[in-house]
């Protein structure tokens, strides 16, 4: 894996960052995922060429950029999985010290002042 487009965030030295470019995303992926990225990327490019709509390409880059970040930082994925398990087990400490909302005792959202309620 090439280091082009991969950098360490100065604010948190343990998290490796990936530039949001196709080359950097591909370089950050393990070899077994690069061909899937190539396929998705080329399919999105063809769609853009046909429709002149950039949304498919943006979506592919966003999804694969996230995957590249998780591949470079497996401890982040481990933390996400641990948090999901804790939530599923009902652990309220996942959400920090404040787990209640000031209006939680009210029966209806309609009693909330605008803009806290959209109904």
Question: Average pLDDT for residues 2-17, to the nearest whole number?
Answer: 59
The pLDDT, as a whole number, for residue 101 is 57
DSSP string, the chain: ---TTEEE-SSSTTPEEE-SSHHHHHHHS-HHHHHHHHHHHHHHHHHHHHH---HHHHHHHHHHHHHHHHHH-HHHHHHHHHHHHHHHTT-GGGG-S----TTTTSS-GGGSPTTS---
What is the average pLDDT across 36-40?
98
The Cα–Cα gap between 5 and 26 comes to 10
What pTM was computed for the model? 0.63
Neighbours of 64 (CB within 10 A): 25
């Amino acid at each position: 894996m090439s280091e082009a487009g991969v950098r360490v965030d100065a604010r948190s030295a343990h998290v490796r960052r990936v530039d949001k470019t196709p080359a950097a995303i591909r370089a950050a992926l393990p070899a077994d995922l690069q061909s899937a990225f190539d396929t998705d990327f080329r399919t999105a490019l063809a769609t853009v060429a046909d429709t002149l709509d950039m949304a498919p390409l943006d979506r592919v880059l966003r999804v694969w950029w996230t995957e590249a970040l998780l591949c470079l930082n497996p401890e982040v994925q481990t933390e996400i999985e641990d948090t999901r398990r804790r939530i599923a087990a009902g652990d309220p400490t996942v959400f920090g010290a404040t787990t209640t909302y000031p209006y939680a005792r009210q029966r209806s959202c309609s009693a909330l002042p605008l803009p806290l309620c959209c109904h």
